[in-house]
A = this chain, B = another copy of it.
Amino acid sequence: MESHLTIDEVAKRTGLTAYTLRYYERIGLIAPISRAPGGQRRYAVSDMAWIEFLLRLRTTNMPIGKMQTFAKLRGAGDSTVPDRRQMLEEHLTEVLSEIEAMRRSADALQAKIEYYRSFEQSLASGSHSDEGHADEHRKPLRTRTGQTAGDRR
């Protein structure tokens, strides 16, 4: 245990840059890392686990400000576990609805891709369907009421 990783090794393992690791420490997301005699950082296994947890918060779009709050609670000891749990519960709720929103949008994108495919098909085969897709200004749509956008000021 205590595998004393250098900052570059941690960067490689986590995908963060050394800059970012120092930045996170500076702003209190990561507690002060222990140092080698020369002053260089030596990351412990437990530091890695925490960083990986931070990455999960980041992946789920928690803003840094909230992560700081969470990190501070963690630093304050076991008595803050209920607060931490509540923070995570609230965050998780948001995350799940973000995922759902993305899923819905992804479905719409998929539908549009399929519309494009069928459009390419009809072009290739010479047929034409008149079938439009929401924001695609097919034939009759887009009457553009004159006005030619007289953008003079």
Residues of chain A at the chain B interface (Cβ within 8 Å): 1-2, 4, 32-37, 39, 42, 44, 46, 49-50, 52-53, 56-57, 59-60, 78, 81-82, 84-85, 88-89, 91-92, 95-96, 98-99, 101-103, 105-106, 108-110, 112-113, 116-117, 119-120, 123, 134-135, 137, 141-147, 149-153
Contacts and interface: CB of A to CB of B under 8 A. Distances in A.
Given A35-B147, A35-B151, A96 B106 contact: yes
Contacts of A60: 102, 105-106, 109
Given A82-B120, A106-B60, A2 B145 contact: yes
Chain A interface mostly:
helix
11 contacts: A34-B144, A44-B143, A46-B141, A49-B135, A53-B108, A53-B135, A56-B105, A84-B116, A89-B113, A92-B106, A102-B102
